[in-house]
Every structure is written in C-alpha cells, then in structure tokens.
Amino acid sequence: GKIFPALALAVLGMLALGAVDAQDDRAHLLVQKATLTNRAFAGKDLPIRYRIFNVGSGPAYDVTFEDDWSAEEFESISGLTSGSWASIPAGANISHIVVIRPFTYGYKGSSPAKITYKHSEDSEEVQVAYSNDDLLPVLSSKEDDKLSAAHVTEWVCFLGMSLALVLLPVVLFRPPQSDAKKAKKA
C-alpha cells in the first residue's frame, strides 16, 4: 500500500536529479592511489599508481596533482610526485606512476594525493579532490627472504611423502609368489 507511492516518488526524484545533473556539463574527478605490488618491503622499490578519472559530463581544466611522501620514511626513486595537465576530457582517465623505496619496516602513513581542477578554462572557482589514504604495511627484508626462498626442505618432504603414497600400495598389495615358483627359479 504505502511503500509503492514512496518508492515511486523516490525513483522520480532520482530521475529528476539525474536530468538536472545531465544538463550540467561539469567535470567530476575521482582519484585512486594504489600500490602495484602485493607486499612492500624495506629497501625495495615500491611502485605507486595514481589514476585520475573524469566521471563528469564535461572536461576538467588546469588539472594539478600533488602527493607528499615523508623524506624520513621514503626515498623517491623515479617519477614525479606532482604534475599538471591542461585538460582531462569527460569519460577519460590518466595514470601516473611514482616509484619510492621505504627505508624501514612497519606501518607507514600515506597522506592523500591532492587534485585541483576547474570546470571551465576561464573559471575562478577551483575544485579539489583527494585520493584514498591508507596505512602502508612495509615488511622487513628478512620477511622478503622467507617469502621468496626456494623452500627446498618443504619440496623434499612433499616428494618423499608423495613417493611413499604411491609405492606403499604397490608393496602391500603385490601378489604373493608360491614356493614352487621360487624353487624353479633357483
């Protein structure tokens, strides 16, 4: 009874907001900041990828990008932690990669990357977007050695047990030889 009219009103409201938003040719930038490796290790290169998506219906102008990595905790290896683009068209995206190297292990704070942009070339109003910020777990070089070791002992045990599983039934269920056949062979 009462739920259907409320639901219909909510759907109409969303459609009306969508129609207003569709007429508004404005850019809307989303920023993603992610590591390109599964694990970060102290003293090893760590690539960071920034992806800037324009999910709006208009281009973004005078786009600037800034990120700050602590000089006490990270060394910049390659790439720039800032950049700028004249425009990003609607529906387009840009990827930017920076390689850093953590000095020590532990949880490292990562501040969000900051993006600024304008809705039009002559606009005075500057829009700001921020990426995600996370705690970055950095493992020690000893952990790296453990995870990337050849694991020879484990493989030898595995092969020995597999061989036992195959040979044990053969030995146990071998047909018995009669004493007469043994005497003939001798």
Tens-digit pLDDT string for the chain (186 aa): 455 555 655 665 666 555 445 447 889 999 999 999 888 889 899 999 999 999 999 999 999 999 988 889 999 999 999 999 999 999 999 999 999 999 998 888 888 999 999 998 888 899 999 998 878 889 887 776 666 667 778 888 889 999 988 888 888 887 777 665 666 665
**Length, in residues, of the chain:** 186
Strand intervals (E) in the chain? 29-35, 40-41, 46-54, 60-66, 74-78, 82-88, 93-102, 106-109, 114-118, 127-130, 135-139
pTM (2 d.p.): 0.65
pLDDT for position 78: 93
State the Cα–Cα distance between residues 72 and 120, nearest whole angstrom.
39
Output the six-digit token pair for 96. Answer: 């930017």
Phi, psi (deg, nearest 5) at residue 76: -80, 120
